[in-house]
């Protein structure tokens, strides 16, 4: 059989069998153009003992890899490589092998000061970072190992500075796959004005310090986050727009699990630019302290066209908390607030939410401002269990704060500023177009409040929807 194949190749090439064998051998032996090389950090002087600062060695491997046209810089299995700030460059993949650890220094002096800055006001202590890339293309962080920020309180405070783990600025074609990211001193990652991002199969645990966000995408487009798990001390995934000309759009989040001290997914707050085309599906949210989906527009951009489907939540006080108001979040925000634009077309379908273990502050909340409504919200196929226990006084509560600048002061539009609401299921205020169907709400204990309260809501419909087995008839205020 082999001889017949060689005869055929020989006739095609017009040469002898011996010469054909020689040519095939050359093809196998010679490396083909376009295949990157591997660069082991220990070959560039890294001690990899977890005690010696190996920043220069790791950077030397990155620089050589980049200079050679690209490849993979490797942190070997079974070793801990201690570093301060390193800089990723074009066509470089950083791979931490299974059992390998890339460990952040516990000395703030080992973190560079030329790694841009945080875009939120009042947080300059978060400007530094461990891994930085600017204007880079085709970069990656991968492997089944661990990147450990070493960000414990004993190492970093707001006074000393609290470096982020990763910051990418104006980069394109980025992949972060299969890696474990733990113990950042502040955010796990900040992605500023980046395009074409794929994050898959990662694990983030960020509980050892404050503001432990997971993935923060600011003004990014074409983003896919899949098959990942998050356990964070702040928002697990955050979509933001710090620049008016840098929209956040074409975002897909699917097949992920979330546990958080704050929100599972936050969209907005830092919101000077537009948001559009966001799809979240097939995710679970468990033991979230604040909100599952926290969607907030307050710095002058427009937010539209988002769908959230096939989500399961347990112990999530606000499955959806949506606000449209005004507040400054951007670090260099002018004193004058920009005019409010628009917030419209949101679809929430196929939810199962079990909040029986929580208190009475556990519902869907949508609140715009007088003259500035949130428009066209669809709720469908939602099963919602709540603890109940609402009192007659809470049911009759009429004075609920509008989220104005005097009410907000210098802080964010948070639920605590509203207080216990007169609805145990859905509370909507200043909304135009609320379309609800196939909603089932169940209270474990008796609750004196209405299932649904609508305040300044127009174009509202409820069909095939029940609370404790009875058709939902919303309480309507100021209509």
Q: Are 76 and 70 in contact (CB under 8 A)?
A: no
pLDDT tens for each residue of 75-125: 999 999 999 999 999 999 999 999 999 999 999 999 999 999 999 999 999
User: How many degrees, rounded to 5, is the angle at CA 327 between CA 330 and CA 193?
Assistant: 30
**Model-wide pTM > 0.75:** yes
Task: Give the mean pLDDT of 165-173.
Answer: 98
Whether the Cβ atoms of residue 244 and residue 270 lie closer than 8 Å to each other = no
Cα–Cα distances (Å) from 378 to 162, 182, 350, 421, 459, in that order, read 41, 37, 11, 21, 12
Query: What topology does CATH give the domain 37-477?
Result: Pectate Lyase C-like (2.160.20)
Domain chopping of the chain, boundaries: 1-30, 37-477
Mean pLDDT in the chain? 93
Q: How many CB atoms lie within 10 A of CB 121?
A: 14
Q: pLDDT band at residue 36, thresholds of 50, 70 and 90? A: confident
Short-list 463, 448, 445, 299, CA closest to 379: 463
Which tens digit of pLDDT belongs to each residue from 326-345?
Answer: 999 999 998 899 999 999 99
Rounded to whole angstroms, the Cα distance separating 272 from 245 reads: 9
Lowest mean pLDDT among 165-169, 251-255, 393-397, 408-412: 408-412
How far apart CA 229 and CA 252 sit, in angstroms, is: 15
Measured between alpha carbons, how far is residue 44 from residues 83, 130, 143, 289, 392 in Å?
14, 19, 20, 45, 71
Closest to 318 measured CA to CA, from 385, 364, 353: 364
pLDDT tens string 287-337? 999 999 999 999 999 999 999 999 999 999 999 999 999 999 999 998 899
291 forms bridges with which residues in the sheet?
A: 263, 318
Q: Which residue in the block uniquely carries the two structure tokens 């007088």? A: 370
Give the residue-averaged pLDDT of 152-163. Answer: 97
DSSP labels, 417-452: GT-S-SEEEEEEEEEEEEEEEEEEEEESS---SEEE
Distances (CA, A) of 79 to 52, 107, 131, 377, 432: 12, 20, 19, 52, 58
CB 54 within 8 A of CB 83: yes
Q: What is the pLDDT of residues 336-381, one digit of tens each?
A: 999 999 999 999 999 999 999 999 999 999 999 999 999 999 999 9
Give the mean model confidence (pLDDT) for residues 400-422. Answer: 95
According to the model, what pLDDT value does residue 14 have? 53
Q: How many CB atoms are closer than 10 A to CB 21?
A: 13
């Amino acid at each position: 059989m082999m001889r017949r194949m060689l005869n055929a190749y020989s006739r095609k090439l017009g040469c002898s069998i011996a010469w054909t064998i020689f040519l095939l051998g050359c093809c196998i032996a010679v490396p083909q153009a376009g295949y990157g090389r591997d660069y082991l950090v220990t070959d560039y002087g890294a001690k990899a003992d977890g005690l010696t600062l190996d920043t220069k060695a790791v950077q030397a491997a990155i620089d050589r890899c980049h200079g050679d046209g690209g490849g993979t810089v490797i942190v070997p299995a079974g070793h801990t490589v201690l570093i301060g700030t390193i800089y990723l460059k074009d066509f470089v993949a950083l791979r931490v092998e299974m059992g390998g650890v890339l460990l952040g220094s516990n000395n703030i002096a080992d973190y560079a000061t030329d790694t841009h800055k945080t875009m939120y006001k009042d947080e300059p202590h978060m400007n530094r970072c461990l891994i930085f890339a600017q204007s880079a293309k085709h970069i990656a962080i991968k492997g089944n190992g661990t990147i450990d920020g070493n960000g414990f309180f004993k190492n970093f405070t707001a006074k000393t500075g609290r470096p982020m783990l990763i910051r990418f600025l104006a980069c394109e074609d980025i992949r972060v796959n299969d890696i474990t990211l733990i113990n950042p001193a502040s955010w796990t990652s900040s992605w500023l004005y980046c395009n074409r991002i794929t994050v898959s199969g990662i694990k983030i645990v960020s509980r050892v310090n404050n503001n432990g966000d997971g993935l923060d995408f600011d003004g990014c487009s074409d983003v896919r986050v899949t098959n990942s798990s998050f356990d964070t001390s702040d928002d697990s995934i955050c979509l933001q727009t710090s620049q008016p000309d840098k929209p956040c759009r074409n975002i897909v989040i699917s097949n992920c699990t979330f546990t958080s001290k704050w929100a599972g997914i936050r969209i907005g707050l830092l919101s000077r630019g537009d948001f559009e085309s966001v799809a979240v599906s097939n995710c679970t949210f468990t033991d979230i302290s604040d909100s599952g989906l926290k969607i907030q527009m307050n710095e002058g951009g427009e937010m539209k066209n988002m769908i959230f489907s096939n989500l399961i939540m347990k112990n999530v006080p606000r499955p959806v908390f949506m606000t449209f108001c005004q507040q400054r979040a951007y670090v260099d925000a002018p004193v004058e607030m920009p005019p409010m634009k628009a917030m419209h077309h949101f679809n929430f379908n196929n939810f199962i939410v079990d909040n029986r273990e929580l208190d009475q502050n556990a519902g869907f909340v949508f609140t715009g401002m007088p003259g500035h409504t949130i428009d066209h919200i669809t709720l469908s196929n939602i099963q919602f269990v709540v603890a109940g226990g609402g009192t007659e006084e809470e049911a009759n509560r009429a004075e609920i704060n509008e989220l104005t600048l005097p009410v907000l002061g210098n802080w964010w539009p948070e639920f605590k500023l509203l207080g216990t609401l007169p609805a145990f299921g859905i509370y909507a205020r200043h909304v135009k177009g609320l379309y609800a169907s196939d909603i089932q709400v169940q209270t474990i204990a008796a609750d004196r409040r209405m299932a649904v309260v609508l305040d300044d809501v127009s174009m509202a419909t409820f069909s095939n929807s029940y609370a404790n087995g009875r058709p939902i008839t919303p309480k309507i205020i100021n209509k």
